[in-house]
Amino acid sequence: MAAGRDWQDLLNETVLAFYRPDGRKWKKDEVDIIRTLTEAMRSVADNWKRSFDEDEARLESELITTSESGQKSNPHAEYPDPNADVHADLEAAAHHAEIAEKISRIEKIVETRERAALIVMGMKDGLTGPELKKELEISQNELETEMTWIRRNVRAAFKDRS
């Protein structure tokens, strides 16, 4: 069906057309209800086809269909992106894993020193120096002292492993 519509949408629109005052009329004496509905459904489907523009942008949610069993089907997920750079994605994933491992090592270094651990956690959340001071209720001197301790210990730990 056009634009992600299914047979239920077609039937609903057809039945609704009979309820509109200016909608379809059923000539009971000439045609049975099944044939009337069938022809009306063909007409609605034909109207959908004529109004469908293949080049019109559609939302991904319009393309997702649900089967009788409730299984969702997304045509975009079924086919790989021809423009995807798999090697770049793998490199990025490796880079992210390396950074995550370094962050984990830094967190391990500062875990025994509460204020340093809170500063690292705040930096990880994107807090700036002034925001850290305000959040932790510490002075500039206390922040600088902890930052010096963090830098010194992190450098030493990474120097040993290099």
**Residue-range domain boundaries for the chain:** 2-78, 86-161
Beta bridge partners of 66: 72
Type of residue numbered 50: R
DSSP assignment, residue 27? -
Contact between 3 and 58 under an 8 Å Cβ cutoff? The reply is yes
Residue 110 has a pLDDT of 94
pTM: 0.46
- Give the pair of three-digit tokens for residue 13: 């629109």
Mark the ranges of the chain whose per-residue pLDDT is less than 70. Answer: 1-4, 55-63, 76-81, 161-162
Q: Supply φ then ψ for residue 24, to 5 degrees.
A: -65, 150
What's the pLDDT tens digit per position in 147-158?
A: 999 999 999 988
DSSP 121-135: HHHHTT--HHHHHHH
pLDDT, residue 137, reads 94
Residue 58: per-residue pLDDT: 63
Q: How far apart, in whole angstroms, are the C-alpha atoms of residue 44 and residue 135?
A: 62
Q: What pLDDT is stored for residue 118 in this prediction?
A: 94
